Chains A and B, each alone.
Chain A
C-alpha cells in the first residue's frame, strides 16, 4: 500500500446524498478478475448516456473541476461490500473522499486501499461545496499526521477522526494482512483452546 502524509489539491464536488456503491461502480462492471481499470467506469451511469456518450452536465465531464479530492454528500458509499467501489475511486485518481457521513464497509475498504475517507461537519461540507462552485481553483489541504483539513481560500480548518491503528498504517504504507500474519502463533494457539 502506498504511504499517505499530506495532500494539497483542488476538489471535485458531488453534492448528492446517499451515493451508493451501485452508482460508484455498477454491478455489470464487476466481472473483472484484477484490481485495475475500474476508474474508467467510476460513476458510469452518471457519466455516460446509453450510447456511451459523456453526459455534459456531470461533474467528472466538466474540465473546470479536477483534483485528487472527491467531496460528496452525506452517507457516501452505502450499499454493497464491493471493494471495487474503492478501487474505482482510487484508479480514477482520488486519494481522499470528503463527506459528512460514510457507510461503514466503504470506509474500511477505502482505508485498506490507501484512500482516506474524511468526515467533516455538515456545515463545513456545505462551505466546501459553496467555495468550490464559486471558485473551482480553490484548494484543500489534508494533513494526516495532524488530522486536519483546511480550506486554503478561507483558512477554515477542521480536525477529523481516524482510528490510530489505521492512521499508522496509512502513514507507513502497511496493511492489515502483514499485521495478522505476524500473529500466526497466537491464532494457532487460539484454535487449540477453542471448544465449540
Chain B
C-alpha cells in the first residue's frame, strides 16, 4: 500500500498498536535542555527508576545562558541554578551534556543537525516546540511537555495518536531578496496561526527542493507556528551531502547501510494526504509581521489588513493586537522606525544566515539609534563566523556578535527588548511580551532585518540589492 513519508517513519517506530489506545511510539533520540527537564528528572527520582537509554539522550544549556562573558559564572541566580541542576542531573543519570564552555554547546535545534545527530528516518523529541526543525532531514521530530520528557526518560517511548497529514507544495522560483523565512511567514499568514493544528506537514515542490538544509530547517522550524505537530521534508542529495562527515554521522559501511535506507524515505507517488495546499513561489515577497501572532504577517510593501476585514468574532482580539504593537489598520509599515534588531534563534542563526547578513552589510553602517545584536546558534557557528572574518564585518557595521544561546528570542536571560520598543527579529514568535514585557516584535528574514538595521526603519530589501 502506498504511504506518505510520515506514515513510513511512523510505522517503523510503532512498538504496539492496540484498539482504543494511542500507539506506543519508539523515540530514537531525545534532546533535552535546562528549562523543561528538571521536573522530569525529579519525577524519575520520586519513582525511583533509572533513565532507560541515556546513550540516546543529548543535553545542552541554551535557554538561560548569557551571550556575553560565557566563561564567567552566570550572574542571574535562578538561571545559574537551573543550568547547574542540568549538569548535576546529567552526571547522575549518565547523559552526555554539551554545556556552557563545551565546543558543541548551542541552541538544541542548531546543534542536533550540526553534529550529525539529526538523521533521516529518525523519531526525535525534545521538551521544546521547535523540535520540528529536525524534520528538515526527513525525520519525525516534535515538541513534548515535561510529563512526556519523563516518559521518554523512563521508557524511550510515548503514547501518540497517529497524526493527520498535510502536504504543502511550493513551486517555482523565489525572487531576489526572498528567503526561506519569507516562504514560511507567507504560508502562515495565509492559513493562520491555527491552520495546521492536528497535522504533520510535509513540505514539497521545486521551491523547497531548491533550498539549502539551512533554509529547510527555517521552514520546518516554524511549522509549530501554524499549529502543526511537526513538519518534514523528504531527504535528497542536499540532505545526504550535509550529513556526510559530521561528528556523529554514520561512517564507512554503516554510512552505506543508512544511505540505502534513507533513499526509501519519500511519500509514494499516489500516497494520500488528508489535506494538500499549493503555493506559487513567485507570489512570495519579503515578509514582515505587524501583530502578536506569527499569522499576522504581510508582504513588506502591503498595508495592514483592516479590522473590518476580519471575522466579527475575531475583531476584538485583532484590535487588541494592533494596539499592543502601536500600529493602525490600513497602515503601511514601510519607513516605520525601529529600535532593535535581533538576528538569532533556532529559526535563523546558522552560518548561512550570518553570511547572508554579512554580505549585505559589508561596508555599510547601522543607523545611529538602532541596537543590533547577532547571536549565533551554536559555539561552532560562532567560531566559524570569526574564522571567516564576519565578526569584523559586523563590528564595522556597528553590529555586536555575541555568544550562542536562545537570547532575546524569549528573553529568559538578560537579553531583553525594553517596553514599547520595536524589534525586527529573525526569531519565530511575536507574542506579547515574548522578547520582554511590552516589547514589540516584528518577525522577518535575516536579510530584511539587516536592511532595517542599516536604515533604522522597515524597508523593502528588494530595492537595496
A binding-site residues for B, Cβ under 8 Å: 15-18, 20, 22-23, 26-28, 30-35, 45, 50, 73-75, 78-84, 86, 101, 103-105, 108-109, 112-113, 122, 126, 163-165, 175-177, 179-181, 183-184, 186-187, 190-191, 194, 196
Contacts and interface: CB of A to CB of B under 8 A. Distances in A.
A33 B47 CA distance: 17
Contact of B437 (A15, A45, A177): A45
| Interface bracket on B | 35 or more
A30 to B, nearest CB: 5
A81 to B, nearest CB: 4
A108 B149 CA distance: 13
Contacts of B317: 16-18, 73
Contacts of B131: 81
Interface in B135-163: 143-148, 150-151, 154-159, 161
B21 A34 contact: no
A50 to B, nearest CB: 7
B316 A15 contact: yes
Interface string B53-95: 0000000000110000000000000110110010000000000
Nearest to B199: A104
Interface of B: 15-16, 20-22, 24, 26, 35-36, 38-39, 42-43, 47, 49, 63-64, 78-79, 81-82, 85, 121, 127-129, 131, 143-148, 150-151, 154-159, 161, 193-194, 197-198, 227, 229, 257-258, 261, 292-293, 313-314, 316-317, 320, 410-412, 419, 429, 431-434, 437-438
Nearest to A122: B313
B194 A78 contact: yes
A84 B40 CA distance: 12
A184 B129 CA distance: 27
30 contacts: A22-B410, A22-B431, A27-B412, A31-B35, A33-B39, A33-B42, A45-B438, A73-B317, A78-B293, A79-B431, A80-B129, A81-B145, A83-B36, A104-B198, A104-B227, A105-B129, A105-B143, A109-B147, A163-B161, A165-B20, A165-B21, A181-B49, A183-B15, A183-B157, A184-B155, A186-B16, A187-B15, A187-B26, A190-B15, A191-B26
A83 B157 CA distance: 18
Contacts of B258: 196
Contacts of A75: 193-194, 197, 227
A35 B39 contact: yes
Given A101-B194, A101-B197, A183-B15, A79 B156 contact: no
